[in-house]
Amino acid sequence: MSDKNTLIFFDIPSKIGAWSPNTWKTRYSLNHKGIPYKTIWVEYPDIEKTLKDYSIAAYTTQPDGRTPLYTLPAIYDPVTSTGLTESFVIAKYLDEKYPDKPILVPKGTEVLQKAHINATRAKIEPIWQFMLPKTNWNLNERSEAYFRRTREEMEGQTMEEMYPKGEKRKEEWKKLEEGLGQVDKWYGKEDVLVMGGEGNNACFADFAFAGYAIWIRILFGKESEEWKNVSGWQDGRWGKMIQALEKYE
């Protein structure tokens, strides 16, 4: 495939490389399908202009319900002149355009995969108070200022106030473990992937969950106590899952 026909993937940079749980869903998806792509790194304040430059429509709106909200991940496929945002929409497009590559959303699984993704997200709610500040502190300067302003407005507190300390930290971290314990019960005893089997059997729902797990690993660090906790919880299920998907990083 010539360079001008190479698919473009838009991601958000940081001081420590690719980090976003949302863009990781698409990065994993592209790597799993083995589709050649190039990454264009876009700082937060530049996302709207960049997507408009490629005629990529916003997928959702601001809280007012009217103003378009431009978000990443996004892709632009020069072969079909198609630009899309939102990781599930992107996954379905990749399956449609590249059916000879591993399928992310097999026929008949869309509703189940979406249900799994939404249910999982609800169980890991305690993660945000840890990860939003950790994200903020690792962003490049322009993105950091934007992220801090928008998230602090939404949350009604500073990043430093949001990040749990002391006893509260222990309690909230325990809640995360308990939430993941409930997700753990949805899997077969020997399975680390939603549809069972090894990494080759991965589907989009696996990458959606792995996006959150790898977010923790990247921002806290591989050798951190926090990643050792998460990767070891539930008999090491989440560590084994990330290991099974490692070849798609």
Stretch 161-168: mean pLDDT:
97
User: Where along the chain do the CATH 3.40.30.10 domains lie?
Assistant: 7-97
Query: Tell me, which fold does domain 7-97 have in CATH?
Result: Glutaredoxin (3.40.30)
Sole residue written with tokens 């699984």: 109
Per-residue pLDDT tens over the stretch 186-234: 998 888 899 887 667 899 999 999 999 999 999 999 999 999 999 999 9
199-220: burial string, b at 16+ Cβ within 10 Å, e else: beebbbbbbbbbbbbbbbbbbb
The pLDDT of residue 22: 97
- Contact present, 246 and 193 (Cβ < 8 Å): no
What's residue 201's pLDDT?
86
The fold of the 110-248 domain, in CATH, is: Glutathione S-transferase Yfyf (Class Pi); Chain A, domain 2 (1.20.1050)
**Comma-separated ranges of CATH 1.20.1050.10 domains in the chain:** 110-248
